[in-house]
Structures are given as structure tokens and as C-alpha cells.
Amino acid sequence: MSKYVTKISDINLDLKGQAKAEGLSFEDKLTRMAEAGHLELGGREISGQEKDAQGHAVPVWKEILSAQGIETRGRHQAATVNDVFFTDPDNKILFPLYIEGRFREINNYRPNQLRITDLVADMVPVTTGAMGMDTLTDSDDAETDPARIAEGAEFPVLVIKSAGKTIILLKRGGRLEATYEAIAGASVSTFNRWLTRLARRTETTKIRAALAMLKNGDGGNAAPNVASAGAAYTIGDIVKLIQRAGDFGAEPMILTGDTTEMGALFALDFLSSPANNGMQSENLRENGTLPRLLGMMPKFAPTRSVMDGSKQLMAIDPALGLTMAYNPAMDLVEYDAVIERQIKAVQISEQYGFGKPDIAAAVTLTRTGA
């Protein structure tokens, strides 16, 4: 099979332009080429099938860097960005590719905190500024339950309809301002630390927007709510929350809230007493692993989200979560500016929006009398 890419100079802005024309990110384009057997560097097949020591898939951008002898977590972490990416002119395009890949990788690891994958069930690539969305019309009464049907009677109906709802894709992002000299002269590990801060802040903004959509909906589909029995949560309140979700056919796996409500939740003897929760309490103390509660994993909502001061916990079923529309052709990083060393800022730009096709995605529990 002939290779479309056989040397590093074949990974260039022309190939980047092809990706954009096909409505793909550069990383997605390279991944598809690797999976099709069209990517080889220095006689090394880049397949997209490589695994790390833990058995996790190695992304293609990392395979490419490795084939070029670049080890950002190994022997090159103390080297400068300039020495690693700009000494060889053909490697220049690998720097923005590294920024994009590392940016996404950072946000896949957020222990005890909400991730966007906890809130979003499906991601839809859209190359226009908006996307229409159908919704599932449901209720928690017996009218929509499948049941035994008498001869000639009407079937209970769950209706999927075009509700005239539109997901608007908005451009969002952040900037890491620095001169080219500051960025190029920084060690790879130092630059990675800067990028980590920017990536986490950008992801937090995305999570806040998704939480607002889950809680408030996009028109007539705010999260169903139940009230606690008193000023302090009880295990009965949590059972009632799960039952309310079950009324809509949901199986919540995530439980979230602001720091006040999570603190009130963990005051439950069921969770806080070592006598009742020995192994999980030990894991919490030693590893910071939060204990599951009736099958739900507690995760903290970010500050300044709609959960702040709400006196609510939210139970989320990720399988029924939001639809996230995004523009894959939009550059996460300005490749031209980075390659030509005209960097005044590492600017991360994304275009995305959220829709809520299923009211059952989240249910809230309000702490009364608090």
C-alpha cells in the first residue's frame, strides 16, 4: 500500500488545509490516515494501534513525536521549546500539534471533579454556526408507560419531535500571553505547566456552560426537582432523588453540587463513619477517592457555576446527557502564527454549544430549611 506521508516534511500546512476542507481537526486527519495505513515516518509505521505500559491507546500525535525522537515527558522535558521543536525546520508544525493534543489530554484527568464527559452523551461535528435538535417528550406519569393494550386501544406514546430548538455554536477560548522568546526559551516541562493551567481553566468554562444547560434546560425542560425532608440530608433524601430520576427512565451515575452541599452530603453518617464505610473511608483518607453513594460517584462542581448557592445536589445520567455540537474545522491553535514564530499568545479557540434533548439527563434535590 502506498503511503501518503513517508517523511516529516509531508506533515505540513498543505495537509492541514486538507483537514480543514474535510471538516476535520488536524489530529483527526492524521489519526484517520494512520488507521488507513497511510502514515509512515523513518520507516516506522504510525498505526494508531500502539498501547502504553498501562494498556491505554497512544494517540497518533504522540506516535509522530516519538518517531521524530521527541520525548516531552522523557529526555526532552528539560530542553527548551526552541531546541525541541524549532531547531529542525520540519519539526515546527509538531509544536502546535503538541499543544492541541496535550490540551485535550490534560482535561481527560480530573479526579473528584466533573469532566465534560460526565455531562455530555454525544458530540456532533457541525461546520455551520448552528444545529437543529429533536427532543424526547416524556413525563413521569403512567400515560407514557408501555402496558398491556386492550384490542383497539391506543398505545402509550413517547414522542420524539422537532421542537424548533437550535444549538448555537459560540466561539470560546483563552489566551496565554507571552513573547515568542519567553515561550521558545522555556523548558518543555515549564511550558506544559503553563498549558495545564490554561487547559483546566478553559475546560472549567465549558463545564459551567454544560451544567447551566442541564439544570435550566433550553426551554421547558429544566431538571425535575425533589425537596429534602429537612435542613440536613438523609439517606432517604438520596433514595427519593434516585427514585425521581427513575420515574423518567434515568439511572444517575454522578452526584454533584457546590462545596457547601457536598460538605452537607458527606456529613451523612453513612459516608463519614469508618464503622459504616471502612474500606471507602480508608481510600478517601489515603488516596482522595470519594466513596460511592448508592451507585453514584460524587464529583465537585466548579466554583461560579449554577450550583453555587443553589442549596441543591444534582444527580446526572451521563448516558442521557447533553448533545454538544462543535466545529471540528476550527483551529484550536493558530498554526501559522506558531510555525512562523509570530507568537504573541498561545490562544486556544473552540466553537461549540450545548442542547438538552432529554429532560431525564439530570434531577436535582433541594435542601429545604438550610
If asked whether residues 328 and 226 sit together in one domain, one would say no
Amino acid at the residue 25: S
d(CA 319, CA 253): 9
CA atoms in the 13 A half-sphere facing the CB of 52: 9
Domain that residue 312 falls in: 221-322+360-366
Going by pLDDT thresholds of 50, 70 and 90, the confidence category of residue 207 is: very high
If asked whether residues 200 and 94 sit together in one domain, one would say yes
Long-range contacts of 285-288 (CB under 8 A, 24+ apart): 288/111, 288/112
Quote the pLDDT of residue 52: 87
Instruction: Using a pLDDT cut of 70, give the percent of the chain over it.
Output: 82
For residues 42-48, give the mean pLDDT: 88
If asked whether residues 180 and 73 sit together in one domain, one would say yes
Higher-confidence residue of 253 and 201: namely 253
Quote the pLDDT of residue 55: 87
If asked whether residues 42 and 173 sit together in one domain, one would say yes
- Supply the DSSP symbol for 179: -
Residue 108 pLDDT exceeds 90: no
**Looking at the domain assignment, is residue 42 inside a domain?**
yes
User: Residues 148-181, buried b or exposed e (16+ Cβ, 10 A)?
Assistant: eeeeeeeeeeeeeeebebebebeeeebebebebe
Going by pLDDT thresholds of 50, 70 and 90, the confidence category of residue 147 is: very low
If asked whether residues 249 and 295 sit together in one domain, one would say yes
If asked whether residues 185 and 39 sit together in one domain, one would say yes
If asked whether residues 295 and 236 sit together in one domain, one would say yes
**Looking at the domain assignment, is residue 133 inside a domain?**
no
**Looking at the domain assignment, is residue 155 inside a domain?**
no
If asked whether residues 106 and 231 sit together in one domain, one would say no
Higher-confidence residue of 193 and 275: namely 193
Residues paired with residue 51 on neighbouring β-strands, in sequence order: 57
Quote the pLDDT of residue 268: 84
What does the mean pLDDT of the chain come to?
84
If asked whether residues 260 and 317 sit together in one domain, one would say yes
**Looking at the domain assignment, is residue 127 inside a domain?**
no
If asked whether residues 96 and 35 sit together in one domain, one would say yes
If asked whether residues 72 and 99 sit together in one domain, one would say yes
CATH value at residue 300: 3.30.2320.10
Sheet containing strand 322-326, edge to edge, reads: 120-125, 322-326, 345-355, 170-177
**Looking at the domain assignment, is residue 129 inside a domain?**
no
Which residue blocks in 111-234 are alpha helix, DSSP H?
116-119, 180-185, 188-216
What SS3 class is residue 204?
A: helix
**Looking at the domain assignment, is residue 175 inside a domain?**
yes
- In the block, which residue shows the cell 491553535? 333
Question: How many structural domains are present in the chain?
Answer: 2
Amino acid at the residue 87: T
What SS3 class is residue 277?
A: coil
Dmax (CA) for the chain in angstroms is 80
Residue 150 pLDDT exceeds 80: no
Given a contact cutoff of 8 angstroms between Cβ atoms, the answer to whether 81 and 339 are in contact is no
- In the block, which residue shows the cell 490562544? 347
Cell matching residue 250: 434515568
**Looking at the domain assignment, is residue 261 inside a domain?**
yes
Other beta carbons less than 10 A from residue 270's beta carbon = 17
Other beta carbons less than 10 A from residue 337's beta carbon = 16
Quote the pLDDT of residue 104: 86
Model pTM? 0.83
If asked whether residues 229 and 345 sit together in one domain, one would say no
